[in-house]
Amino acid sequence: MHLESMIVAQVESFIRHPTFAGSDEVMETVLDNLASRACAHQISQVTHRRLREMILRSPHYARNN
């Protein structure tokens, strides 16, 4: 599986996992990791923006609630 596809699948699974509901610290870590991967060209800027928006809109991200 392509690295970017694996990262997308992991983030999508992570966002849906109820264990992390309301865990802004964990979500911030994931956002930082995605930014680092985008800077290292492991994921595209488009994928980075899409995943970032997905996280920020997630009901698990307590800062939005």
pLDDT tens, position by position, 37-50? 999 999 999 999 99
This prediction's pTM: 0.80
Q: Is residue 50 part of a domain?
A: yes
Which residue's entry shows tokens 């930014």? Answer: 35
Within a domain: residue 40? yes
Is residue 12 one of the residues assigned to a domain? no
Structurally, the chain folds into a number of domains equal to 1
Q: What would the pLDDT profile of 4-30 be if each residue is shown by its tens digit?
A: 999 999 888 888 876 666 677 888 888
Q: Which tokens sit at 56?
A: 């920020």
Containing structural domain, residue 29: 23-65
* Burial of residue 4 (number of CB atoms within 10 Å: 0-12, 13-18, 19+): middle
- Is residue 7 one of the residues assigned to a domain? no
What is the model's pLDDT at position 55?
A: 87
Radius of gyration of the chain (CA): 11
